Amino acid sequence: MVCRNINFTNVCYVGCSFCGFARHQDDTAEAYDHPMEAILAKCRDAVARGASEVCIQGGIHPGKDHTHYREILEVIKAEFPKLHVHAYSPEEIDFGHRKSGMELSDYLRWLVDAGLGTMPGTAAEILDDSIRQVISPNKLRRARWIEIVEAAHGIGLPSTSTVMYGHIETDRHVAEHLELLRSIQKRTGGFTEFVPLGFIHEKNVLFNHMGARPGATAPEDLRLVAVARLFLRPWIRNVQMSWVKMGPKLAQLALDAGCNDFGGTLMEESISRESGADHGENLPAEEMRRLIREMGRTPVQRSTTYRILRRFDDAAQDPPSLEPTRPRELSGPTRWRLLEERKAATGR
């Protein structure tokens, strides 16, 4: 899927121990709170690069309320009525809903009326309160996550589903988490996909000060994909890998382990990067097609809700890249660099 992440603010008071993204609002050197024009500029760039979706999530900014979430939707939809807006984790929904004073389903409908298309099933981490109490004691609890997701599905607002594994949880916690997601899906049918998210450890408190392990091993990553595929079918039909967490080569292997979805191109990614992930922020569509073809598969472009938008049966017929051109960098013998300079000067 061609999409763009937009994190509209990194100011957050929740304090999850696994999060390297959040900043205190007084941290003026690094905290940001993008104005609407900056959000629109990112949407324009996304559309120019072929995006069908923008994914909007941010920190929980203590100075905002429910109206801010709706205003972002209204502003985007006014300029891009066809752009799918996938936005607001259950944590953000919880915050906005509590500020709104509305019934939960009314609040969700109020956002849908303004243009909310689907909801990320993030803020799930491990849906066990004994784990949540340690890794993010201020975050919404299991029952509230379920209440919000079921209310969303109940009004026809689909969501993804996720797990974050490889920190302090045990296999039992992951198994119970999968069972919970499967049972919700049996009731609502509202999950579009399941996305396992490996814990990124390098730069956060959970690993550096609280004794969590440094993420899952590669075999664990692949086993979870395989188990999820077997355990969740036929109720959750799509299992997506995270190339940001796994890296593109392990993501290729995940296709053979049970994934059918390579996720989004993202264009911009801060949440994993700021916790230490180093697999990049942008996976151009042409690069994703190459990785998929190398595994003997045929790439297709999909919408957020898994409608096939385009098939790419023949690499020779692929469309030109919509990515901005960047100067190539060659390192090595001087004659190589002279070659590049000559090409830049003469075009040959």
Binding residues vs ligand SF4 (CB under 6 A): 12, 14-16, 19, 21-22, 59-60, 91, 136
DSSP 211-226: ---S---HHHHHHHHH
Q: In whole angstroms, how close is the CB of 33 to ligand SF4 at the nearest point? A: 13
Of 91 and 261, the one with the shorter C-beta distance to ligand SF4 is: 91
Strand pairing of 191-198 and 159-165? parallel
Q: Which is nearer to ligand SF4, 136 or 265 (CB)?
A: 136
Q: What's the closest the beta carbon of residue 209 comes to ligand SF4, in angstroms?
A: 15
Min. distance of Cβ 59 from ligand SF4 in angstroms? 4
Cα separation, 270 vs 299, in Å, equals 26
Instruction: Name the amino acid, one letter, at 310.
Output: R
In the complex with ligand SF4, the residue whose CB is nearer, 56 or 259, is: 56
Closer CB to ligand SF4, residue 60 or residue 250?
Answer: 60
* Other beta carbons within 10 Å of 209: 9
Which ranges of the chain would DSSP assign to H, the alpha helix? 36-48, 66-79, 90-100, 104-114, 129-135, 142-154, 171-188, 205-208, 218-232, 243-246, 248-257, 285-294, 334-346
CA 253 to chain centre: 20
Dist. CA 206–CA 213, nearest whole Å: 9
Q: Which is nearer to ligand SF4, 53 or 91 (CB)?
A: 91
Between 198 and 248, whose beta carbon lies closer to ligand SF4? 198
Smallest distance from the beta carbon of 228 to ligand SF4, in angstroms? 22
How many other CB atoms are there within 10 angstroms of residue 210's CB atom? 14
Whole-angstrom CA distances from 284 to 53, 118, 273, 310 are 15, 23, 17, 16
Nearer Cβ to ligand SF4, position 136 or 161? 136
CB of 271 to ligand SF4, least distance (A): 7
**Distance in angstroms (rounded) separating the CA atoms of residues 99 and 337:** 58
Q: Minimum distance from CB of 234 to ligand SF4 (Å)?
A: 32
Q: How far is the CB of 48 from ligand SF4 (least distance, A)?
A: 28
